[in-house]
Chain A
Amino acid sequence: SAVISQKPSRDICQRGTSLTIQCQVDSQVTMMFWYRQQPGQSLTLIATANQGSEATYESGFVIDKFPISRPNLTFSTLTVSNMSPEDSSIYLCSVEGYGMQETQYFGPGTRLLVL
């Protein structure tokens, strides 16, 4: 299966600041996604990270709040901008198309607490 790492694994941030989360895969993948898991909730898709072009955002999520980069086929970043306590969540990246498989693997997640 894919080996996916995320940095940081956790952070505590002050409101109004921004945090950039990195996602690194050990091999090239077709698709990369970013999800949010609010406390005690299921996962919600934020956006699809597109290599070489702007990310595709789901309803309720906008680029100004969650800018995403994907400079190559193994790396992506998600920035949570101008944070508020409501942004306290686990943020997970996932990948599809690892080793030609049509299965989706998840990173370990970044636990964010905004004070």
Chain B
Amino acid sequence: GEDVEQSLFLSVREGDSSVINCTYTDSSSTYLYWYKQEPGAGLQLLTYIFSNMDMKQDQRLTVLLNKKDKHLSLRIADTQTGDSAIYFCAEARANDYKLSFGAGTTVTVRA
């Protein structure tokens, strides 16, 4: 199967780091993605990682991939109020690029 699982909620204090976790089941996945959805908006591609990589850093975002455990995480450094949103983890199946999404993690940043 291609179930993608995420925790549903995360509350973090402004200025702290946020870590959002995701597990997937399809070992043939080629790319793994993190999307951000703000209230009333569409999906914004935040970052992605190719399955042969362990880590990818992009400014405040760090993605870690543990392929053995099929575990993906997104770390947001110095979390700001503008980071409050729903974050979706998604995996791309090999050969057809179709995405399977997790349920989304609602991140709330408190002052």
Q: In this assembly, does B10 line the interface, its C-beta being within 8 Å of a C-beta of chain A? A: no
Known: A43-B88, A103-B31, A104-B97. A92 touches B42 (CB 8 A): yes
Number of A interface residues in the complex (CB < 8 A): 21
Say whether A113 faces chain B, with CB atoms less than 8 Å apart.
no
Please report which residues of chain B, range 82-104, place their CB below 8 angstroms from some CB of chain A when the two chains form the complex.
88, 90, 92, 96-104
Number of interface residues of B (CB under 8 A): 22
* Distance of A42 Cα from B31 Cα, bound (Å): 19
A75 at interface, CB cutoff 8 A: no
Q: What number of residue pairs across chains A and B have CB atoms under 8 A from each other? A: 51
Query: Is A42's CB under 8 angstroms from B42's CB?
Result: no
CB neighbours (8 Å) of B43 from chain A are 43, 92, 94, 106, 109
CA of A92 to CA of B37, assembled, Å: 12
Mask, A19-58, CB within 8 Å of B = 1, is 0000000000001010000000111110010000000000
Pick the contact of B35 from A44, A90, A106, A109 — CB < 8 Å? A106
Interface residues of A in 95-115 (CB under 8 A from B): 96, 102-109
- Residues B33 and A103 in contact, CB atoms below 8 Å apart: yes
Chain A residues in 8 Å Cβ range of B92: 104
Distance (whole angstroms) from the CB of B72 to the closest CB of chain A: 15
Interface flags for B42-80 (1: CB within 8 Å of A; 0: not) read: 111100100000000000000000000000000000000
Taking A42-B103, A44-B101 as given, write out 13 further A-B residue pairs in contact, using a Cβ cutoff of 8 Å, ordered by the A residue number.
Answer: A33-B98, A42-B101, A43-B88, A43-B99, A92-B42, A92-B43, A96-B97, A103-B45, A104-B97, A106-B35, A106-B42, A109-B42, A109-B43
- Interchain residue pairs with CB less than 8 A apart (15): A1-B45, A42-B88, A42-B101, A43-B88, A43-B99, A45-B100, A92-B43, A96-B97, A102-B97, A103-B33, A104-B33, A106-B42, A106-B43, A107-B42, A108-B42
